[in-house]
Amino acid sequence: MFEKIIKSLKKPSGKCFNHPNKDALSFCHACMRHYCEHCLIEGPKYYYCNADACLKLYSQEVDYSRTPRFCSQCLSETIDAPSGDIISVNLIGDKFVCENREECPTCGAVVLEKIGPILGRKGSYKVIWLNSDKSTFISRKLK
């Protein structure tokens, strides 16, 4: 159940916020307090505690995971111009390169630069990956 957190994070030092006699396994992505495995809810990407405000963010994460789309903030920062296909054969062709490692906390969009072998830079896009191997995505061009 907690394989994602064990692999991606070092075990936090400290005790569970709710159970001071238990070691904390991880932290709530919303309130950042440390909790034991019994106090955490596993979301698609992060873990949350049972506080009302934290559960609201958990529900939002689940909703955007089930129906990937751009949030209102990302829509306001972009125009409705998708990047088109990213096609590369023998390392020749268009590709995305990382421009900004920060992920939108609401919809999970990342900013990527589209580059090509001849024309070079083709623009910056907000991209939401639709599968784990990053072969399918939706995108919008930054303003």
Is pTM, for the whole model, over 0.85?
A: no
Residues 51 and 90 reside in one and the same domain: no
* Rounded Cα–Cα distance for residues 20 and 128 (Å): 39
In the chain, how many domains are there? 2
Residues 35 and 76 reside in one and the same domain: no
Q: Which of 31-35, 43-47, 99-103 has the lowest mean pLDDT?
A: 99-103
The range of the structural domain enclosing residue 128 comes to 72-142
Report whether pLDDT(33) > 60: yes
pLDDT, residue 7, reads 44
pLDDT digits (tens, 9 = 90+) for 121-134: 889 999 999 998 88
pLDDT digits (tens, 9 = 90+) for 37-96: 999 999 998 999 999 999 999 999 999 999 999 999 999 999 999 998 887 777 678 888
Residues 135 and 104 reside in one and the same domain: yes
Q: What are phi and psi of 31, to 5 degrees?
A: -95, -10
**Cβ distance 64 to 108 under 8 Å?**
yes
Domain boundary at 33, 66, 99, which? 66
